[in-house]
Amino acid sequence: MDDLTAAWTSWTATLAAAGFDPRPGLRPPADPAGVAAAQARTGIRFPADLAALYTLADGQGRTPEDPQVFPQYRFLPVADALVVWGGWDDVRRHEGADGMADHAEHVTVRAGDPVRREYWLPGWWPLAEDGGGNVLVVDTDPAEGGTVGQIVVAGPDEDERRRLAPGVTEYLRALTAADLVVDGVGDGVFWWDAPELR
């Protein structure tokens, strides 16, 4: 998908120009069989731009020195994302409808965002994770007015569900256009963030 490729190339180049080149830490393109198996296991049909993203890179490695691809979130390889999805699905199965409804009592939705007020949905594919269980999901089961493939924030520390972009391509474009916050943590170590996009 040309739009996705262009958006991805612009975003990774923007990060590199800011001193946070993620490209050395990116994994090779995902195995199509692995992508197909993940879709079969979850019942999620990947939106075209998500599938296209995995033809460019199967997430990123775990090396702490490598810059994150997304603000405060590691771009998950398909196999890792499937493990994360499975963990959430285990919670859903164990808790049942009543238990999930109890969890959802604490969940809010940012005003105007077309996102379901749910703790977790089987149609949410974990694109990236922050290391504490919070995820950026590709939402394939949006609320009325939403778009299939929109990027949504979810997780145990994220009580407010919010839409960051209508899809993967649009999210990459928004990141490229954002004013990145760059700060140091000492010893010449710097980090970047785009707080409004996480």
List pLDDT tens digits, range 33-47.
999 999 999 999 999
Q: Cα–chain-centroid distance for residue 108?
A: 19
- Contact (Cβ atoms closer than 8 angstroms) between residue 176 and residue 10: yes
Tokens 């005003």 sit on residue: 111
pLDDT tens sequence across 54-64: 999 999 998 87
Cα atoms in the Cβ-side hemisphere of radius 13 Å centred on 42:
30
| Structural domains of the chain, with CATH | 2-197 (3.40.1580.10)
Amino acid letter, residue 160: E
Give percent above pLDDT 90 in the chain.
76
pLDDT at 65 over 90: no
Strand duo 181-186 + 160-165: pairing: unpaired
pLDDT at 189 over 80: no
pLDDT at 185 over 70: no
**pLDDT computed for residue 139 by the predictor:** 98
**pLDDT computed for residue 161 by the predictor:** 94
Which span out of 65-69, 141-145, 182-186 was modeled with the highest average pLDDT?
141-145
Confidence of residue 25 (pLDDT cuts 50, 70, 90): very high
**pLDDT computed for residue 95 by the predictor:** 73
Closest of 74, 120, 85, 84 to residue 101, by C-alpha? 120
118 vs 104: CA distance, rounded Å: 5
Tokens 């049909």 sit on residue: 45
**pLDDT computed for residue 186 by the predictor:** 60
pLDDT tens sequence across 93-150: 887 766 666 667 788 999 999 999 988 899 999 999 998 889 999 999 999 999 999 9
Element (H, E) at 168: helix 168-177
SS3 at position 11 = helix
